[in-house]
Amino acid sequence: MLDARLQKVLDFITGERLLDIGSDHAYLPIEAVGKGIVQYAICGEVVKGPYESTVRNIEKENMTDRIEARFGSGLEVARPEDAVDTVTICGMGGPLIADILQTGFNHLGGVPRLVLQANTYTYPIRKALVSLGYEIIEETIIQDGHHFYEIIVAEAGDADYDEAELTFGPILLQKREAAFTLKLERELEHQQNIYRNLKNNSSNIQRLEEVSDTINALKEVLEL
């Protein structure tokens, strides 16, 4: 059974062949293959323990003929002949996801759909997508308790985003979902606390200005 964030990621998977990077015990590929969303899946895992767990789970579900586990770093597990239709990278920080895309994209054959679920800081992901010739076709935020998870779906295309769109998400800014607003309100409160602490306990003027700029940007989006 997938949690809410992976269940939403599942909704965005398309085509016959899936590549899941950082597969987290193969939960997502097992669900995608089991429900007939894809016909074949490849799981990439760079950490030995989770890789071994991935292999065991695939065997347990009797899916060794339809799901393959590969041990390696990021997109380096991919081969052009895999001809995957969708790549999923979930449960990581934004900078790491961006790095995985930029350093390993040449291992992919073609330009598959990218479904990216970040735990933190999505700005570098959007920058990476533009540099790789992708445009964002969908975005959403899943709230789980105090945690907010952003999901970005991108396909090949030309895109040019301004700083606000790179920071907050071009589609998220348009849709303004309740979770999006709540996430920004909590971030604004967090940044205001940082600002107060810095003002009382630090002489780092540059850092104070950076936090002030972040607060103003959040207020502008929230239209406060």
How confident is the model over 73-100, as pLDDT tens digits? 999 999 999 999 999 999 999 999 999 9
SS3 state at 72: coil
Residues of the chain above pLDDT 70, percent: 100
Q: Are 108 and 81 in contact (CB under 8 A)?
A: no
Domain hosting 44: range is 4-160
For tokens 């065997």, the residue is: 59
Residue 172 lies in a domain: no
Q: Do 30 and 98 fall within a single domain? A: yes
Q: Are 101 and 128 in contact (CB under 8 A)?
A: yes
Residue 72 lies in a domain: yes
pLDDT digits (tens, 9 = 90+) for 141-165: 999 888 999 999 999 999 999 999 9
pLDDT digits (tens, 9 = 90+) for 158-191: 999 999 999 999 999 999 999 999 999 999 999 9
Q: Do 96 and 154 fall within a single domain? A: yes
The residue ranges of DSSP E strands in the chain, in sequence order, are: 17-21, 40-45, 67-71, 86-93, 113-120, 134-144, 147-156
Q: Do 10 and 97 fall within a single domain? A: yes
Dist CA 222 CA 14 (whole Å): 34
- The more confidently predicted of residues 204 and 39 is 39
Dist CA 33 CA 36 (whole Å): 5
Q: Do 8 and 70 fall within a single domain? A: yes
Residue 154 lies in a domain: yes
Dist CA 151 CA 38 (whole Å): 20
Q: What is the mean pLDDT of the chain?
A: 94
Taking each helix axis from N to C terminus, what angle separates 94-104 and 123-131, rounded to the nearest 10 degrees? 20
Q: Do 95 and 206 fall within a single domain? A: no
Domain with residue 118: its CATH number is: 3.40.50.150
Residue 26 pLDDT grade (very low, low, confident, very high; cuts 50, 70, 90) = very high
Dist CA 177 CA 8 (whole Å): 15
Residue 65 lies in a domain: yes
Mean pLDDT in residue range 99-128: 96
Residue type, 168: F
Q: Do 99 and 12 fall within a single domain? A: yes
Q: Which two tokens stand for residue 4?
A: 């809410």
Instruction: Provide the domain count of the chain.
Output: 2
